[in-house]
Amino acid sequence: MRVRRRGLVMLAAFVSALACAPADEPPPTGSSSRLSNETSTAQAGAPGIGDPDFPQDGNGGYDVSHYDLVIDYTPTTKRLEGVTTIKAGATQDLSSFNLDLAGLGVRQVTVGGSPATFTRQGDELTVRPASKIRTGSTFTVRVAYSGVPKPAKDSANLGTYGFIATADGAFVASEPNGSKTWFPGNDHPADKATFDFAITVPAGVVALANGEQTGQPTTVGGKTTYRWRERHPMATYLATATMGKFETRSGSTPAGIPNFAAADPKFKSSLDGLYTTSGEITDYWSQVFGPYPFSSTGGMVDDYSAGYALENQTKPLYGGFDPDESIIAHELAHQWFGNSLSIKRWKDLWLNEGFATYAEWLWSEHKGSKTAEAFFNEYRQRPADDAIWKYPPGRAKPNDLFNQSVYTRGGMTLHALRQAIGDATFFSLLKTWTAQHRYGHVTTESFVDLAERLSGKQLDALFDAWLFQPRRPA
């Protein structure tokens, strides 16, 4: 069993049976009343983006197009000084709007260059610009903040995530909603944006983020600034600013995609394997899933025992273990399934994890080891009272998001589909799926629709049995 699995299973053992508080649907975004006596609260952006299972995550009333993150981090004091500049478009008239931010002190907020007032409540930062923002207009909000970031660890089965200080820097893996532990934003995958990073660290420390470096790092007064740019839309949970001592290797994959790998000195011996395997797998997935969606690939191994890996865009992060081919195949498959194609609601998480798990089986099959069919048959034999059959993977539970069923039964769903529609249609479906929704958003319904259209088959019963029933499919 692989490290990530072990971690997830181990964590799952501590799942508390906490029921989530009944969620009030936040008011729909994008609508605004036009009454002349409307109150200013009627034009407040909603505090949540509209995910019924995570009512406070993300925000309503605007769409972010770009984040500019300027960060100065000191590992010895664990203090972060940040300035986040967000470019957004208003989807309603806004007298105020929210950003997600957990802890940290806010010093100043400006909108369009003018000082704005702000209030904090829980993880919501409410910004009231000096003048109302009109629907359809674009605006810039700049937040200056600082403090010692505290990672999220409130829910037992998610473990610790977000900005996690390490001895020499930080391990930054924010799925599902931990980006608010280190920068203010619209922290939900339904709102993706491009990112620029300028990360300043003490000289000798390396700062790694998504995408590619824009120029050489510059050192002034004992501090080095690293600049990275992710030029393709990215969900906030996939953003990283992982820092510390790192050995790095860069070049390109055999097919010519820029490839960058990094390993903490403790995992120095993993560096070449990570680099080579990531290159080989990125090229293979480009054949199977369609063109690689981003400008570079690679990975990082940090000395922090997270118990999981995260598919950070262009740079998956492996938490304190030497990644084997199977987990690298998994995290790189996410670059298509999860990163280029993002979910709109967390309950559709099987569209990420089921596909990435199925990719592990496809990689094994490709290497002449166990076939996907053999994986499927083995799991299929689990007794009828096995937990995997009780948890319908098509509706990931907010208090048990990363349940093994979402991974394994999600992967099995794809194999059952492959058996029903045949290899030719199945593999062309995967490519059509990634092409049609490249850099966009997907739902389970849109996948079922496409599968039915391409196969000409009625597949409701198959998907219902595999994704939505609390029992082993017949």
Pure H helices in 290-443: 325-333, 350-366, 372-380, 387-390, 404-421, 423-436
Q: Which is nearer to Zn ion, 194 or 313 (CB)?
A: 313
Figure out which of the listed residues 190, 207, 309, 406 binds ligand ARG, where binding follows CB under 6 A. 309
When CB distances are held under 5 to 8 angstroms depending on the partner's kind, the choice from Zn ion, ligand ARG, none that residue 159 binds is ligand ARG
Q: Which of 280, 311, 348, 400 touches ligand ARG by CB under 6 A?
A: 311
Residue of 99, 116, 190, 310 that binds ligand ARG (CB under 6 A): 310
Q: Is 451 in the site for ligand ARG (CB under 6 A)?
A: no
* Of residues 84 and 174, the one with the C-beta less far from ligand ARG: 174
- Residue (324 or 464) nearer to ligand ARG, CB: 324
* Interface with ligand ARG, residue 232, by CB under 6 A: no
Phi, psi of 33 (to 5 degrees): -75, 150
Q: Which contacts (CB < 8 Å, 24+ apart) does range 333-338 have?
A: 333/285, 333/289, 333/358, 333/359, 333/360, 335/282, 335/285, 335/292, 335/293, 335/294, 335/297, 335/311, 336/285, 336/289, 336/290, 336/293, 336/434, 337/289, 337/434, 338/311
Q: Does 175 bind ligand ARG (CB under 6 A)?
A: yes
Give dist(CA 26, CA 50) in Å, integer: 6
Is position 159 an interface residue for ligand ARG (rule: CB under 6 A)? yes
Segment near ligand ARG (CB under 6 A), from 43-51, 156-164, 214-222, 463-471?
156-164
Q: Which is nearer to Zn ion, 280 or 353 (CB)?
A: 353
Instruction: Determine the Cα–Cα distance for residues 290 and 359; give it in Å rounded to an integer.
Output: 14
User: What's the min distance (Å) between Cβ of 4 and ligand ARG?
Assistant: 6
| β-strand pairing of 162-165 with 114-115 | unpaired
Q: How far is the CB of 394 from ligand ARG (least distance, A)?
A: 17
Give the residues lining the site for Zn ion (CB under 5 A).
Answer: 353, 356
Closer to ligand ARG by Cβ: residue 93 or 331: 331
Instruction: Give the interface segment with ligand ARG, choosing from 48-56, 158-166, 251-259, 463-471 (CB under 6 A).
Output: 158-166
Indicate the residue type of 103.
G
Are the CB atoms for 201 and 224 separated by under 8 Å?
yes
Strand order in the sheet with 309-310: 247-252, 258-263, 297-302, 317-319, 309-310
Which of 4, 192, 232, 315 touches ligand ARG (CB under 6 A)? 4
CB atoms within 10 A of CB 318: 27
* Closest to ligand ARG by CB, 10 or 203: 10
Of 148, 331, 142, 122, nearest in space to 238 by CA: 331
Query: Which of residues 168 and 175 has its CB atom nearest to ligand ARG in the complex?
Result: 175
- Give the span between the Cα atoms of 58 and 190, in whole angstroms: 8
Distances, alpha carbon 454 to alpha carbons 266, 338, 431, 432, 439, in Å: 49, 22, 12, 9, 21
CB of 242 to ligand ARG, least distance (A): 15
> Which stretch of DSSP H or E encloses residue 6?
helix 3-12
The count of residues interacting with ligand ARG (CB under 6 A) is: 12
Contact string 318-337 vs ligand ARG (x = CB under 6 A): -------------x------
CB of 183 to ligand ARG, least distance (A): 17
Selected from 353, 388, 410, 412, the binder of ligand ARG by CB under 6 A is 353
168 belongs to the binding site for ligand ARG (CB under 6 A): no
385-404: contacts with ligand ARG (CB under 6 A): 402
In angstroms, what is the minimal distance from the CB of 294 to Zn ion?
17
Q: What values do phi and psi take at 418, rounded to 5?
A: -60, -40
402's contact among Zn ion, ligand ARG, none, with CB below 5 to 8 A by partner kind, is ligand ARG
Which positions from 264 through 283 interact with ligand ARG, judged by CB under 6 A? none
| By CB under 6 A, residue 161 contacts ligand ARG | yes
User: Among all residues, whose Cβ is closest to ligand ARG?
Assistant: 161
Neighbours of 218 (CB within 10 A): 12
Cβ neighbours of residue 174 closer than 8 Å, sequence gap 6 or more: 161, 162, 163, 181, 182, 236, 237, 238, 239, 240, 310
Query: Per rule CB under 6 A, is residue 230 in the interface with ligand ARG?
Result: no
Task: For residue 139, list its beta bridge partners.
Answer: 88
By the 8 A CB rule, do 190 and 62 touch? no
What is the footprint of ligand ARG within residues 403-442 (CB under 6 A)?
none
Residue 105's H or E segment, with its range, is strand 105-111
The site partner of 158 among ligand ARG, Zn ion, none (C-beta below 5 to 8 Å per kind) is: ligand ARG
- Neighbouring residues of 44: CB distance < 8 A, sequence distance ≥ 6: 61, 94, 95, 96, 97, 126
Min dist. Cβ of residue 9 to Zn ion (A):
14
Residues in contact with ligand ARG by CB under 6 A are 4, 158-159, 161, 175, 308-311, 331, 353, 402
